[in-house]
Homo-oligomer: A and B are copies of this chain.
Amino acid sequence: MPALRVLSFGLGPIGAATARLALTKKTIQLVGAVDIDAAKKGKDLGAVLGLAPTGVIVSGDAEAAFAELRPDSILHCTSSFLPVVKEQLLVAARHGIDVVSSTEELLVPDLQHPDIAREIDEAAKKGGATILGTGVNPGYAMDTLAVFATAACRSVEMIECWRVVDAGKRRLPLQKKVGAGMSADEFRKEVATGRFGHIGLRESIALVGRACGWKLDTITQSVESVIAERDEKTEFLNVKKGQVAGIWNHGIGKEGGRVRVEMDLKMFVGAKDPFDAVKVTGHPPMHLRVEGGTPGDLATAAMLVNMLPRVAAARPGLLTMLDLPVPGIAT
C-alpha cells in the first residue's frame, strides 16, 4: 500500500496534535496544511508545530490547496459545530477527498442537522468521498466503547456511561472550556449560550441508541458546574475554593418514556481517580472500565489518525463509527 496523501485542515491545539502524530506514521504522507489564522498562513508546517521544517507550507485557502495537492484524505479539526464546517466538508466531498473530522456534531450528523447531513452525504457519494466524525469523546470513550460492550449480549435493556476527567492535567483550552476559575454566575451565562462546555453528549447518546435499535424520542442534557472544594493549581491557572472547577454534563435518552441511555461526564480541575466506564443492563450484563480513563487530547489525535486508513478503505458517503471497521491503531 502506498502511503495515504493527507492534508491537515485546522491547526488549533487538536489539529496541531493530530498533524504531529500523522507525521510519525509510515503509512501517512502529510502533503498539505490549511489554517485561516493569519499568524500561521505561509509558514512551514514544522514551524507551526514546533518541529523541524517539513517542506509543507500552510495555506489559507482550502479549496485551492485541495485542487493543487489532490490529497487522498484530510484530517479536519476546525469547529465543533456542523453548520460552521458544512462548506468545508462539501468542498472536500466534491473533490472526492476523504475526511476524518473532530467536529463533534458530525458523530451523528443527522441528529441536529438532518438537511446538512443529507446534503453532505449526497455530495460525498457523488464525489466518491468518505466522511467521518470521531475523536475520544464523542467517538470512543462514551459511545463506541458502549457499543462494543453490547456485542457480548443477547439482549440489552439500558446503557449507562461515566467519564471523569481531571481537567487539571489537560491543555489550557480544555481547562477554559470547562469553566475552570469562573464564578458560578459567569458559568451560568456561558452555559446559556449553548456553545459552552462539552459538545457531543447528545450525539453520543444517539449513536448508542441507534446501535441498539432504539428509537430515542427524547434526548435531553443538563450542564452544571462543579465547584472547587479547595484551592487548585494547574500548569496554566488557579482555581480558588468556591470557584468553578469544571463541568458536569449529564444526559438521558428515552424511548417511549423509558430511559435507555444515560451518560454522566465530569471534567474538572482536581478530579481524583479519573476513569471511563460502561454498564450494560442486559443478558448478560457487561461492565467495561478504562482504568485511569482515556487521555483526552492524546487520544483524540490518535482516534483521528487511526481511523484514516479505515475511512480510506470504506465506501463513499457520510458514515458514522457504526459503519467503520473496529477501531485500532494505524501503523
Contact = CB atoms under 8 A, between A and B. Distances in A.
Contact of A325 (B152, B292, B322, B328): B322
Interface stretch (A175-183, A192-200, A296-304): A296-304
Interface string A289-331: 1111011001101110111000000000000011111111101
Interface of A: 21, 24, 136, 140-141, 144-145, 147-148, 150-156, 211-213, 282-284, 286-292, 294-295, 298-299, 301-303, 305-307, 321-329, 331
B294 A331 contact: no
**Most interface-central of A286, A325, A327 (chain B CB within 10 A):** A325
A205 to B, nearest CB: 15
A291 B287 contact: yes
Contact of A331 (B136, B213, B307, B323): B213
User: Chain copies in the assembly?
Assistant: 2
Contacts of A213: 329, 331
Contacts of A331: 212-213
A140 B154 contact: no
Nearest to A297: B284
Contact of A152 (B24, B140, B148, B322): B140
Contacts of A291: 287-289
Contacts of A329: 150-151, 153, 155-156, 211-213, 282
Nearest to A328: B147
Contacts of A152: 136, 140-141, 294-295, 298-299, 302-303
B292 A289 contact: no
Nearest to A289: B289
A302 B307 CA distance: 26
Contacts of A294: 152, 284, 286
A298 B155 CA distance: 10
Contacts of A288: 288-291
Nearest to A331: B213
A155 B305 CA distance: 11
16 contacts: A24-B154, A141-B152, A147-B326, A151-B306, A153-B299, A153-B329, A212-B329, A282-B329, A284-B294, A284-B295, A286-B290, A287-B291, A288-B288, A288-B289, A322-B328, A324-B325
A211 B328 contact: yes
A326 B324 contact: yes
B136 A140 contact: no
A328 B292 CA distance: 24
Contacts of A140: 151-152
A4 to B, nearest CB: 14
Nearest to A305: B154
